[in-house]
Structure 1
Amino acid sequence: MDSTLPAVAEELLKEIKKAFKETSHVPDDLLLGLKFIFGSCAVPALDLVDQRSVTRVTSPSGRTAYQVLGSSGKLYTCYSSCHYCTCPAFGFTVLQKSESLLCKHILAVYLSQAMGACQELTVSEEQLTNILLANEEDEG
C-alpha cells in the first residue's frame, strides 16, 4: 500500500491481506473495521471486488494504472500510486468536501491488491498513453 492513507487504514489493509492469504476470506472483525474506517464506500467496494471489476493495466516500461468497471457500467481509471480516481464521487466527496478518504473504486483497487483479485492486462506504451489521455479528455 502507499503512504497516502492514514496509518490505521494502511494497517487494516495489511491485516486483510494477511488474513486473506491465510484463510481465503476476510474475517468479520476486519470487515467491521473496513466499514468503520471507510464508511459507506466499503460495501460497494467489496461488491466490485467480488465482481472482479478491477483490472491492473501494465505497460512494458512498468507503468501501471488500474481500471475499475463501476456499478454504473462506466470504466474509471485509478492511480494507487497517487491515490486518485477519475470518478465524479472522488472529485466531489474526497477532493472538494473532504468527507471521505477515498471513493469505492480506489478502495476496490486496494482490496483487490490485498486479496489477489485483480484482473491483469498488459498493453503497449501507446495503448496506456491513450487510456490516460482519454481520461484527461473526459475531465476537460
Structure 2
Amino acid sequence: MFSLELVPVLQSAINATQKENRDSFEDLLTKLQFFFPDNLILSALDLIDRENVIKYTTPWGTTRFQVFGSTPGSSYSVFPNISCNAAAVSVYCSCPAFAYSTLKSDSQLMCKHLLAAQLAPQLGKCIERSLGPDDLASLIASQYSASMLSTSDNA
C-alpha cells in the first residue's frame, strides 16, 4: 500500500516547517495527515511532548535516536536516515510495529517512534547528547539485553 519511496517526500515536508511559526506547524499537521492516520500523528506528538526522543550524535557525525515507548521500560533504536545502497529501506525502528506494519504488511509508512524522531528536531523538542564509541557500545548492548529479555518473557 505504501512505498518507502515516499519517505524522502515526507522528510522534505517536515524539513520545510519553521520551528517558531505556528502557521507552519498547522501546515505540517495538514501535510502529515496526507501520509498518516490521526492516531499515529497524535501518538508521535505525545512521545515528543513527554520528551521521549533522544538524539545521539557520534564524534564522526553519525546520528541515531532512542525513543522511549508508551509502555514503561520500552525503548527503541531509530535510524531516520540509513544511507546504504544495499538497504531495502532508508529508515528503521527496532519496534515490533515497524517490523509488522511497515516491513511485513506494508500498511503504513513508519511507526510512531520513527515519526517522532523525524519531527522532534524540527520542532525543537529533541534531547541532544553526544556519544563516544564506548557510550555507543554500551547503549547498543543495553538495548540488545532489553530486547532479549522481552523476547524471553514472551516465550
Give TM-score scaled by structure 2 length.
0.74
Which ranges in structure 1 are unaligned for 5 or more consecutive residues? Answer: none
Whole-angstrom distance in 2 between the partners of 1:55 and 1:118: 6
Instruction: Answer with 1 or 2: which has the greater Rg.
Output: 2
Q: Give the 3-state SS of the residue equivalent to 1:100 in structure 2.
A: coil
- What does residue 76 of structure 1 align with? 76
- What does residue 95 of structure 1 align with? 103
Q: Kindly tell me the number of residue pairs found equivalent between the two proteins.
A: 135
Aligned ranges for residues 42-61 of structure 1 at < 5 Å? 42-61=41-60
- What does residue 9 of structure 1 align with? 10
Residues 6 and 123 (structure 1), Cα distance of their counterparts in 2 relative to 1, 3 Å cut: closer
Deviation readout 1:107-140 (Å, 9 max, x if unpaired): 0011012112110122320120232344455268
**Alignment-mate amino acid for residue 64 of structure 1:** T
Which ranges in structure 2 are unaligned for 5 or more consecutive residues? Answer: 83-90
Contact 1:54 1:108 in 2 (8 A): yes
**Alignment-mate amino acid for residue 33 of structure 2:** K
When the two chains are superposed, the root-mean-square deviation of aligned CA atoms in Å is 2.4
Q: 1:106 aligns with which of 114, 136, 140?
A: 114
Whole-angstrom distance in 2 between the partners of 1:42 and 1:107: 8
